[in-house]
Amino acid sequence: MPAPASHFRRIALAGRHATPGVGEPLARLAAFLAARGHDIVLEAETARFTRLPAYP
């Protein structure tokens, strides 16, 4: 079944940046969404602590 059309082109992700290991699941989720054509941005503190270079 094809994925339904999304109204959201840009998606912001936020995570519990103080939680050990949160970067890996966020990276997988970001890659999943990016592969489907979404632009991914990270909340400022999440970006600072997870250090996922592919996403601003």
pLDDT, tens digit, for every residue of 15-29? 887 788 888 999 999
Give the pLDDT score at 13.
93
Residue reference for tokens 């909340």: 43
Q: What is the DSSP string of 18-46?
A: TSTTTHHHHHHHHHHHHHTT-EEEE-HHH
Where do the structural domains in the chain lie, given as residue ranges? 11-50
Dihedral through CA 49, CA 52, CA 55, CA 56, nearest 10? 30
pLDDT number for residue 49: 83
- Among residues 36, 16, 34, which one has the least CA distance to residue 54? 34
- 3-state secondary structure (DSSP) of residue 50: helix
